[in-house]
Amino acid sequence: MEIYVLVKQVPDPEAIIKVKSDLELEIENKYFTSFFDEIAVEAGLKLKEKFGGKVTVLTLDNRRVDALRRGISMGADEAVQIADPAFEGSDQFAVARTLAAYLKDKPFDLILTGRQAMDDDAGIVGPGVAECLGIPHVHSIISLEVDVQGREAKVTREVENGKEILTCPLPALFTCQKGLNSPRIPQVMNVMKAMKAQIKKVDLASLGLGPADVGSQALRVKVQKYLPPPKRPPVKMIKEDFPENVKTLVKLLREEAKVI
Amino acid sequence: MALDFSFTEEQEFFRQTVRDAVNRLIMPRVKELDEKEEFPWDLWKEFAGLGYLGLRHQETYGGMETDTITQMIFYEELARGSCGFAMSAIMQILMGTYFIARFGNEEIKQRILVPAIKGEKIGTICFTEDQSGSDLGGTRTLATKVDGGWRINGRKQWITNGPIAEFTTVMATVDPKLGLKGLNFFLVEKKTADRDGFVTGQRLHKLGSRCSVTGELVYDNVFIPDENFLGEEIGKGVQYAGEILNEVRVMTGMNALAISKEAMEDARQYANNRVAFGNPISKYQLIREKFAKFWAWYEASRTLLYKCAWMIQSNIPCTNECMLAKYHATEMCMYAVEEGMRIYGGNAFCSEYPVQRFWRDAKFLLYGGGTHEVLCDYLGRIYCKD
């Protein structure tokens, strides 16, 4: 099977993120692979182990290739970075358009990616790529079986109060949800391989796209303003004795905190 | 522009990968590992399966042949999880297998080194005795030459992995009167029905680093064949030990870095949340000073340790620098865990909070690679050109 996995490097949960200005974030230089994308890589590797073939990890990022190295360390065969100064400021639609432009001439059976990136939580790129390529797409799958001969996949996804089982002709794109698998911890031999791996680089021109197709010129979703989370309010001490203190606590939980 | 303190993108990737493995395999079990005080065989097998035990060994035997800086990144990240588990793993990676890889013949390497890298056989190195530790010249374990081999007699104490070890690299003297010049390394395996070898003695119950099992090993007139002599020349054991002593000291410093950082990160969160007199205690200057001092000393320690790693990797003589780095990092760690305990106030004194574990684990770092009294005496003498 020819499998492509779309991956993204996102700020580490431990990284310090500050709102620098209305439209700019200051992010500490700590990145890791978006968790849902790791699930997608694992799903691709499991299919490769069963049916043979090749897993390629693909990212669009001008600066970082952490997620590609992570993919190789887990067992992916190839890694491709799409990078070009014109991508600066691209929204999710431009990213989807670009990834699809790279994939459109490639022979693939399956494209996998995370259900959403763990930084912007948008969940747009996966379905966007499928739309651009004109292939079927199922979102947030928690199981995946492939019938190679019949060129068909059977997937499960969670719906309200239950599960939905779907079949889908290949080639298709699936976004992966927690529960599909537990991503493997890479073996050090593969980590070393990933550290030395040559990453193939692709630029905008080679994809047949122009500057108007990506970056700030092609924005369909605009950030209006970043807001930091509200600061923790001061601790309120209830100084009354029992049972008045309980009554006051219940009142505060109901009227101020609004949690009951 | 020769001075460059940055890690490469590949090294950062390696750090992130090890950190992730530690977060997933070890972190969720840290409290349990400390409380059970048993060697975690299941974790060992899972960890060994990832291949990290071969980090510094030749590819021919299943190793990875990584450079010193990469190894130090690994030691730093591993000790963030469980200091005890890190001690057991690092014993296997570095001290416990170094002399076998360096001097063992092919049969020994295939029989011992290859399964050691897979984690199937556990090994250790034995220096300490009841009257010798930092004072290696006081070693009393005796190696006597006999037909076709050697007879080893003595008792070794404070042996990391000792109670579960299947093979040991033992320091023994050919004549106690020769002091340091009589010392040598020998490979001695555990006694079985068809092989002479060491037996395990008393297991020690430790203050910290508790999932690394430590104990006494007894060598009672054990016969070993000639090929188990690990060296090229008799009497050069101390010189051979010197080959890894720099690495051992910097590695110990890396462990100190990790524990101190974990302790202070934990204390920072506590100080930001614990309210006294109407404010989080991190708002008070005396508490802030603790973090400021730690930060300054931590950064200095880290820079010196990685400088030493770079010097080792570049084959630049650095014995004194590595002693300084180990001393500074471990003392810095003592400060961090002590002040962490104070930031926690009375809560530090119960096992509910991890700060007491950092305090207990950190104490273990004071002794390996030379006690600070021995190191400081030596360094002071060198500085005074005495």
Q: Are residues B225 and B336 in the same domain?
A: no
Q: Are residues B296 and B335 in the same domain?
A: yes
Whether A32 and chain B come into contact, CB under 8 Å, resolves to yes
Is residue B296 situated within a structural domain? yes
Q: Are residues A43 and A149 in the same domain?
A: yes
Q: Are residues B28 and B162 in the same domain?
A: no
Q: Are residues A177 and A257 in the same domain?
A: no
Model pLDDT, residue A216:
85
What is the rounded CA–CA span in Å between residue A230 and residue B204? 51
Q: Are residues A108 and A199 in the same domain?
A: yes
Is residue A197 situated within a structural domain? yes
Structural domain total, chain B: 3
Q: Are residues B252 and B374 in the same domain?
A: yes
Residue from the list A65, A191, A234 with its beta carbon closest to the beta carbon of B17: A191
Is residue A223 situated within a structural domain? no
Ranges of residues in chain B whose predicted pLDDT is under 50: none
Q: Are B185 and B133 in contact (CB under 8 A)?
A: no
Model pLDDT, residue B239:
93
CATH code for the domain in which residue A63 is found: 3.40.50.620
Is residue B35 situated within a structural domain? yes
Q: Are residues A156 and A247 in the same domain?
A: no
Q: Are residues A169 and A247 in the same domain?
A: no
Q: Are residues B97 and B197 in the same domain?
A: no
The per-residue DSSP string of A165-200 comes to: EEEEESSEEEEE-TTS--PPPPPHHHHHHHHHPPPE
Q: Are residues A74 and A107 in the same domain?
A: yes
Q: Are residues B49 and B177 in the same domain?
A: no
User: Which among B314, B266, B252 has a CA at the least distance from the CA of B78?
Assistant: B252
Whether A73 and chain B come into contact, CB under 8 Å, resolves to yes
Q: Are residues B262 and B175 in the same domain?
A: no
Q: Do A185 and B278 touch (CB under 8 A)?
A: no
Residue from the list A70, A185, A234 with its beta carbon closest to the beta carbon of B50: A185
Domain end marker among B186, B216, B235: B235
Q: Are B191 and B167 in contact (CB under 8 A)?
A: no
Q: Are residues A126 and A240 in the same domain?
A: no
Model pLDDT, residue A258:
87
* B residues 3-32 lying closer than 8 A (beta carbon) to A: 9-11, 13-14, 16-17, 20-21, 24-25
Q: Are residues A24 and A109 in the same domain?
A: yes
CATH code for the domain in which residue B294 is found: 1.20.140.10
Q: Do A195 and B14 touch (CB under 8 A)?
A: yes
Q: Are residues B105 and B215 in the same domain?
A: no
Nearest chain A CA: its distance from B55 CA (Å): 8
CATH code for the domain in which residue B38 is found: 1.10.540.10
The per-residue DSSP string of A98-166 comes to: HHHHHHTTS--SEEEEESS-TTT----HHHHHHHHHT--EEEEEEEEEEETTTTEEEEEEEETTEEEEE
Domain end marker among B210, B235, B260: B235
Enclosing domain of residue A104: 2-218
Model pLDDT, residue A29:
85
Nearest chain A CA: its distance from B201 CA (Å): 35
Nearest chain B CA: its distance from A240 CA (Å): 17
Q: Are residues B281 and B231 in the same domain?
A: no
Single pTM value for the model: 0.89
Where would I find the H helices in B26-174? 30-36, 41-49, 68-81, 83-90, 96-103, 106-108, 114-118
Is residue B2 situated within a structural domain? no
Q: Are residues B361 and B280 in the same domain?
A: yes
Model pLDDT, residue A222:
86
Q: Are residues A57 and A147 in the same domain?
A: yes
Q: Is residue A24 exposed (0-12), middle (13-18) or buried (19+ Cβ within 10 Å)?
A: exposed
Q: Are residues A179 and A258 in the same domain?
A: no
Is residue A238 situated within a structural domain? yes
Enclosing domain of residue B201: 123-235
Is residue B220 situated within a structural domain? yes
Structural domain total, chain A: 2
Model pLDDT, residue A233:
75
Is residue B3 situated within a structural domain? no
What six digits make up the tokens of A208? Answer: 């047949």
Name the residue of chain B whose CA is nearest to A183's CA.
B24
> What residues of chain A lie within 8 A of the CB of B20, using their CB?
32, 185
Model pLDDT, residue A229:
86
Bond into A171 cis (ω within 30): yes
> What residues of chain B lie within 8 A of the CB of A12, using their CB?
16
Q: Are A62 and A85 in contact (CB under 8 A)?
A: yes
Domain end marker among B215, B235, B255: B235
Chain B interface disruption, residue of A37, A39, A188, most B CBs within 10 A? A188
* A residues 216-235 lying closer than 8 A (beta carbon) to B: 234-235
What is the rounded CA–CA span in Å between residue B20 and residue A74? 13
Q: Are residues B242 and B231 in the same domain?
A: no
Q: Are residues B107 and B184 in the same domain?
A: no
Encode chain A (260 residues) as per-residue pLDDT tens digits: 999 999 999 998 888 899 999 888 999 888 889 999 999 999 999 999 999 999 999 999 999 999 999 999 999 999 999 999 999 888 999 999 999 999 999 999 999 999 999 888 889 999 999 999 999 999 999 999 999 999 999 999 988 889 999 999 999 999 999 999 999 999 999 999 999 898 999 999 999 888 888 888 888 888 899 998 888 777 788 889 999 999 999 999 999 888 88
Q: Are residues A116 and A17 in the same domain?
A: yes
Q: Are residues A141 and A236 in the same domain?
A: no
> What residues of chain A lie within 8 A of the CB of B13, using their CB?
66, 69-70, 191, 194-195
> What residues of chain B lie within 8 A of the CB of A188, using their CB?
50-52, 54-55, 64
